[in-house]
Homo-oligomer: A and B are copies of this chain.
Amino acid sequence: MRLYVSIGPNPRIVRMYAAERGIALEEIWIGLAAGENRREPFLSLNPAGQLPVLEIGPGQIIAESLTICEYLDETVDTPSPHLIGCDPFTRARTRMWLRRIEERYSQPVTASFRFGPGLAMFGPRLRCLPEAAEGMAALVRDGEAWLDAQLPASGFGASDMLTLAEIVLYCSMDFAINRAGLPPDPKHSALSSWFGRMDARVSAQLTKAHAKRA
């Protein structure tokens, strides 16, 4: 299977997921900064112009990070545990947390970056709302506070359990800290400690931005 990837937190989610599970994917790097994703031949592969994209056979394309991870979790067995879950209720809980993390944190982080520090790059490509940059950063803080309060109850970091929800939150936080200028407020100490533990994982180090796998 071929995985089309680029810089940015979304391709990293799939790369980190694959690294955790020991799934080997042939990576094809697309030049996001040069806009290769917004023109042919890439648009024929994914008319949404986004990365990552998984090609499982001729003309058989799956786009969207979490959709790709769902597909790999369903179809690929490795000695490492599945990261969405092995029964319907566990999968439902992982997906529930994924959606909460995306809505309250990942989405405003992305918007805050595109409408603010990333405006010079994204403005000519996408409709950006610079008037909303500050408000989106405030939403990031709200989401951070909510997740910090939920951490103990949700079991994040309470054991060696790792799910796709943790991978998505980690990739978004690393991007928030290192690209979007939104490091977590020190008072959200549960979240900061959790981030430190995630950042130490081999899969996190292997997939740091621009660190192409050999």
Contacts and interface: CB of A to CB of B under 8 A. Distances in A.
A78 interface: no
Contacts of A153: 47
Interface string A72-92: 001100000000000011011
A64 B129 contact: no
A144 to B, nearest CB: 13
A88 B100 contact: no
A131 interface: yes
Nearest to A62: B92
Contact of A136 (B56, B64, B66, B129): B129
A3 interface: no
Contacts of A129: 132, 135-136, 139
A202 interface: no
Given A63-B96, A70-B91, A131-B131, 11 more contacts: A56-B89, A63-B100, A67-B99, A71-B88, A71-B89, A107-B107, A127-B139, A127-B142, A129-B132, A129-B139, A131-B132
With a 10 A CB-CB cut-off, give which of A48, A62, A95, A96 has the most chain B CB atoms.
A96
23 contacts: A47-B150, A47-B153, A48-B100, A62-B89, A62-B92, A62-B93, A62-B96, A64-B99, A66-B99, A67-B95, A70-B92, A71-B88, A71-B89, A74-B88, A74-B91, A75-B88, A127-B138, A127-B142, A129-B132, A129-B136, A129-B139, A131-B135, A132-B132
Contacts of A131: 131-132, 135
A66 B91 CA distance: 12
